Amino acid sequence: EVVKIAKENQITRAAAAMRYAALNDFEGIVVSGNAPTAVFEAMDLYSKGEMNLKAIVGVPVGFVGAADSKEALHNSDIPNIIVEGPKGGTPIAVACVNSLIQHL
């Protein structure tokens, strides 16, 4: 389904996964360590009232859109965890989630 959504809308699979989650009544925390498009899409769906987010862990790594997505998330009204600039990635995302779990 996600691949189909991505192809039909000419978007990344990460962004399509956010749309799929929204269509399936997702409610929780979005975690992205590699895909700034997922962060942007989750924020957009949240702002339209189409996704019930509790928070976003937005730590995508890279130079294309990563820093921009984190800055936009930081400036949003969505509770979030970010790292500034191009640094981030899956290990950072996992560390953030593990820390959240330990503090619940």
Range of the domain at 72: 27-102
Q: Is residue 14 part of a domain?
A: no
Instruction: Record the tokens describing residue 98, joined without a space.
Output: 């593990």
Q: How confident is the model at residue 63 (pLDDT cuts 50, 70, 90)?
A: confident
25 CB-side CA count, 13 A = 0
The CATH number of whichever domain residue 65 belongs to comes to 3.40.50.10230
Contact 81, 55 (CB under 8 A): yes
pLDDT tens digits for 41-61? 999 999 999 999 999 999 999
What's the number of domains the chain is made of?
A: 1
Residues 14-19, mean pLDDT to the nearest whole number: 98
